Amino acid sequence: MAMHTNTKQSLARRWEAYQPSKSALVWACAATAVATMIVGFSWGGWVTGGTSRTLATTAGDAARGELASLICVEKFKAAPDSAARLIELKALADNYKKRQFVETGGWATMPGQTSPDRRATEGCVAALMT
C-alpha cells in the first residue's frame, strides 16, 4: 500500500512560487489604475480641470460680492445723513424697494463703475437690515 501524503503548501510558499504571466501583470496594473481613479474621484476629492475652473470662478464671484457689499455698507455709513437714511431704508416694506433705495443712493456703485453691482446691493441691504 502506497502512502499517499496530502500536503498543502502554506500561503507564503505558494506566493513565493507564483510566476504571473506578462498579460496578468498588465491587467493587474490597469485594474489598479482604474480602481485608484474611481476612489480618487468618488471619495478622494479629485476634480477635473473644468470643475476646478468653475469652482474657482464661483468662489471669486462670491468674494467680490462680499467685498462690494462691505464697501457699500461703508459708503452708506459715511454719508452725512446715514442715520436718517437707515430709518428710511428700514421703513420700506419689500426687498425690491430696499435694493432700489440703495442703488438710487449710489452706495452700491463700485469705484470705477457706472452702474450698481447686484451682489453689492443685495449684501448691502442684508447687512444694513441687521
- pLDDT tens readout for residues 74-127: 999 999 999 999 999 999 989 999 999 999 999 999 988 899 988 899 999 999
In angstroms, the CA 114 to CA 118 distance is: 13
- Domain map (residue ranges) of the chain: 73-130
Phi, psi of 29 (to 5 degrees): -65, -40
Distances (CA, A) of 110 to 67, 95, 113: 10, 21, 6
Look at residue 14 in the predicted model and tell me its pLDDT: 87
Decide: 121 and 68 in contact? Cβ < 8 Å: no
In angstroms, the CA 96 to CA 124 distance is: 13
Reported as a pLDDT band with limits 50, 70 and 90, residue 6 is low
Question: 12 is written with which cell numbers?
Answer: 507564503
Look at residue 4 in the predicted model and tell me its pLDDT: 55
Residue 5 scores a pLDDT above 80 = no
Decide: 88 and 49 in contact? Cβ < 8 Å: no
